[in-house]
Structure 1
Amino acid sequence: MRSLDPTIAAWKTEATPTNGSYEYRPPICYMSNLIPEVFIFIISLIGLAGNASVIWFLGFRMHRNAFYTYILNLAAADFLLLCLYITVCLIRIFKFTLYIHIFDYGIRQTGASIFYIAGLSMLSAISTECCLSVLWPIWYHCHCPRHTSAIMCALLWVLSVLLSILQWVSCHHLYKLDVDLCGNVAITITAWVLFLFVVLLGSSLVLLGRMLCGSKRNPLTRLYVTILLTVLVFLLCAVPFGVSLFLSYWLYIGFDSEYCLSLVSLVLSSVNSSANPIIYFFVGSFRQRLRGPNLKLVLERALQDTPEEDEGGGSLSQGTLEMSGSRVEQG
């Protein structure tokens, strides 16, 4: 049974028989994989700091509205995924320097699946909700329940955890008892991930088209720019990891090729999970003269759902930030 997790392929070697015994034969790119692993570790540390700042401000320093809740949960998913990457790097160092065997297979596989699916789910949800607020603003403002975003985030987390744990149990503990169960779970997870990709891409294209095309174009806001840039980075950097994480289950390209592809996808995935705070800072500080490193104000500006001309200079009132298209949910 092939693994659904590229972290397994990227941190192991292949055993091959030699003269009746087994020895570990590293794949082609094994000798040069130290560089991408160092990149993963450094990028993950930077991303941890950025996502921790986002979690701190959105979770404890700002009143959360619908979009803030999604961004908070997206930052939490990225933060936990980066923690997993750092843990795997440290485990690898301990294994090769101290010769300590640490059994972490289930933790890495299940954790990677949970946090990747959760992050993709949050991004798809926020893109869809933005699309609804643009296409049917009156219905969205008046009829969408107040705590929809919090409920959706909780359901998406539960679904991500259940699917990942079910895959781990069925493919590694119950495989000998029921061979078909593992395949059915793999089909279910792959179908769900593909569905999220389609929803994310479709809602993002609709949002982009409504902002840039047509006679009834909506004014471009910082929130929409932030979301579109986040989706773009995700499509460029996280899709290869998703393909390697789930779709590679159905395609066998050889161990050496899968190993090298996994290393590249892991680097790109760490870049994606670390890029969102940078996007928030860039969008929030663009064309603004801020007095000092006010990260809270920068984050508020990046998630502002009002047109650029309505900002009213260099200051931003709380009433403006609590946009008309979002319900305020007290954190």
Structure 2
Amino acid sequence: MLSFWNIVTGRTFYTIVFSLMVLVGLGGLVGNGLVLWLLGFRVKRNPFSVYVLHLAGADFLFLGCQTVFAILTFTRGHQQLYLVITFLWFTIGLGLMVALSLEQCLSVLFPKWSGCRPKHASACACALVWALSLPLVLVPSHACGLLTGGSSFLTCFRYQVANIICMFLLFSVLCVSNFILLVRVQCCSQNGQKPPFYGFILQMAPLFFFCGLPFLTYWALKNTISFIASFFSFFLSIAELLACVNSSTKPAIYFFNAKHRQELQRAWPRRGNRRLTEALEMRA
């Protein structure tokens, strides 16, 4: 019978994590693919659904790359480039969640602002997140030799520290905006009315805290304290698995918080595309 240490350090541990990662990744690809299809072709988009559409796209890319790279890592060994590519989509997802939470928080704090907001503000915010995430991940990766193979420790340390500050600043903004939203709605809302998508947004922060933060932490330790990251190499497998859970759970949260949940449940067995579309169409 294998001891706990043999399971943790041996191939059995990685086989179990690999199997779970592939299963979770495939399930998340189906869920996010369904969201992309519905919001992209079946549902009339609004400011909120634009964020969800881009978020589902980032999660779909993350899960797709993570699943493929997990198979390649299990069969051929780990490559540094795998981590860079998957973390890029992960960062875009984090930035989109921050933008969505900030917009909802501003709408609650300043109700008049939501009525006069520019028509394409959500699309512009999403495009900005995609554009800024590229240098945010690729520049420190290049400086630390994850893309080219050669690096200077001092240069890598400087870029990585700046990258860590930006990443955890995004995480802090996500937590603070969700906290403000929670306090504002619970304490100051009239007649107990909650804004649209209130549950969806508040559920994303704890989900990221438990399932996304470990992956963010590993990225922070990867180059700044490399000997710890290499000593706890199994932590990367756990962090990647939890990150897959983070990206795979969002479609379920989206569907459960959609309007007309009873209509959604009745639409599935009847295979009524029209009723399913109506059940998922969210109006801000």
TM over 0.5: yes
Matches within 5 A, 1:225-264: 225-251=199-225, 254=228, 258-264=232-238
Partner of 1:115: 89
Q: Are 1:90 and 2:71 matched, yes or no? A: yes
In 1, Cα distance between equivalents of 2:228 and 2:149: 26
Partner of 2:104: 130
In 1, Cα distance between equivalents of 2:150 and 2:191: 54
Partner of 1:156: 129
Count how many residue pairs are aligned between Structure 1 and Structure 2: 269
Range with bigger deviation, 83-92 or 278-287: 278-287
Partner of 1:314: none
In 2, Cα distance between equivalents of 1:59 and 1:215: 33
**Does the CA-based 8 Å contact 1:27-1:255 persist in structure 2?**
no
Q: Which amino acid aligns with 1:164?
A: V
CA 295–262 in structure 1, closer or farther in 2 if over 3 Å, else same = farther
**Does the CA-based 8 Å contact 1:134-1:218 persist in structure 2?**
no
In 2, Cα distance between equivalents of 1:47 and 1:267: 12
**Does the CA-based 8 Å contact 1:127-1:203 persist in structure 2?**
yes
**Does the CA-based 8 Å contact 1:284-1:299 persist in structure 2?**
yes
CA 69–138 in structure 1, closer or farther in 2 if over 3 Å, else same = same
In 2, Cα distance between equivalents of 1:276 and 1:221: 19
CA 270–252 in structure 1, closer or farther in 2 if over 3 Å, else same = same
More strand by share: 1
Specify which of 141, 150, 174 is matched with residue 200 of structure 1.
174
Please say which structure displays the higher CA radius of gyration.
Answer: 1
Partner of 2:186: 212
User: Deviations for 1:109-134, whole angstroms, at most 9, x for unmatched residues?
Assistant: 22122111101000000000000000
Q: Are 1:105 and 2:105 matched, yes or no? A: no
**Does the CA-based 8 Å contact 1:175-1:182 persist in structure 2?**
no
How many angstroms does 1:249 deviate by?
Answer: 3.8
Specify which of 26, 40, 44 is matched with residue 59 of structure 1.
40
In 1, Cα distance between equivalents of 2:185 and 2:231: 41
Q: Are 1:267 and 2:241 matched, yes or no? A: yes
CA 298–265 in structure 1, closer or farther in 2 if over 3 Å, else same = farther
Q: Which runs of 5+ in 2 are unaligned?
A: 1-6, 269-274
In 2, Cα distance between equivalents of 1:218 and 1:248: 46
In 1, Cα distance between equivalents of 2:241 and 2:52: 22
Specify which of 187, 212, 217 is matched with residue 161 of structure 2.
187
How many angstroms does 1:287 deviate by?
Answer: 5.8
In 2, Cα distance between equivalents of 1:117 and 1:275: 17
Range with bigger deviation, 42-51 or 273-282: 273-282
Q: Which amino acid aligns with 2:129?
A: L
**Does the CA-based 8 Å contact 1:27-1:256 persist in structure 2?**
no
**Does the CA-based 8 Å contact 1:80-1:115 persist in structure 2?**
yes
In 1, Cα distance between equivalents of 2:125 and 2:115: 17
CA 128–217 in structure 1, closer or farther in 2 if over 3 Å, else same = farther
| Percent of matched pairs sharing the same residue | 32
How many angstroms does 1:199 deviate by?
Answer: 0.7
In 2, Cα distance between equivalents of 1:85 and 1:40: 8
Q: Which amino acid aligns with 2:139?
A: L
Q: Are 1:281 and 2:262 matched, yes or no? A: no
In 2, Cα distance between equivalents of 1:174 and 1:57: 42
Q: Are 1:292 and 2:267 matched, yes or no? A: yes
**TM-score normalised by structure 1 residue count:** 0.74
How many angstroms does 1:296 deviate by?
Answer: 2.7
Partner of 2:4: none
Range with bigger deviation, 272-281 or 29-38: 29-38
Q: Which runs of 5+ in 1 are unaligned?
A: 1-25, 96-100, 305-320, 324-331
In 2, Cα distance between equivalents of 1:258 and 1:153: 35
In 2, Cα distance between equivalents of 1:218 and 1:175: 58
Partner of 2:13: 32
In 1, Cα distance between equivalents of 2:84 and 2:99: 22
**TM-score normalised by structure 2 residue count:** 0.85
Q: Which amino acid aligns with 1:243?
A: T
